[in-house]
Amino acid sequence: SQQGEEDPQALSIQEGENATMNCSYKTSINNLQWYRQNSGRGLVHLILIRSNEREKHSGRLRVTLDTSKKSSSLLITASRAADTASYFCATGGNTPLVFGKGTRLSVIA
């Protein structure tokens, strides 16, 4: 069964706007990761946040984690057309990573 569930399923914004995607999960985790997928092919790791961290930044990415609510958010600031992709959260514990269904982001130039 899938652990993470992203929300929304699809998001369309104008270039320059910020994009926020959310992920909810069900059980305890050691860490949570976000991955990006272009054109239905291989995923690329973006950022990892550990269960004892609340916020993490990497370039234009900001990830938050609320373990009490079992949720995480990914914020992409000043979006670009090249950010158009699907974004997945993945939760890790003692089992192989479990991925959500993803948020499909479209950034319109």
Partner 1 sequence: GAGVSQSPSNKVTEKGKDVELRCDPISGHTALYWYRQRLGQGLEFLIYFQGNSAPDKSGLPSDRFSAERTGESVSTLTIQRTQQEDSAVYLCASSKGQGPVLTFGAGSRLTVL
> Interaction with partner 1 in 42-101: which residues (CB under 8 A)?
42-45, 48, 88, 90, 92, 95-101
Q: Are strands 71-76 and 19-24 parallel, antiparallel or unpaired?
A: antiparallel
Is 62 or 104 the residue whose CB approaches partner 1 more closely?
104
Total residues contacting partner 1 by CB under 8 A comes to 23
Residue 91 contacts residue 4 (beta carbons within 8 Å): yes
What is the Cα–Cα distance from 52 to 30, expressed in whole angstroms?
8
Instruction: Work out whether 41 is an interface residue with partner 1 (CB under 8 A).
Output: yes
Pick the binder of partner 1 from 30, 54, 78, 81 (CB under 8 A). 30
Beta strands in the chain (DSSP E): 5-7, 10-14, 19-24, 31-37, 43-50, 55-58, 61-66, 71-76, 85-92, 98-99, 103-108
Smallest distance, partner 1 to C-beta of residue 69, A: 21
Is 4 or 79 the residue whose CB approaches partner 1 more closely?
4
- Contact segment (CB under 8 A) with partner 1 among 19-27, 33-41, 56-64, 66-74 equals 33-41
Cβ-based neighbours of 17, under 8 Å, separated by 6 or more: 79
> Which residues in this chain contact partner 1 in the complex, by CB under 8 A?
2, 30-31, 33, 35, 40-45, 48, 88, 90, 92, 95-102
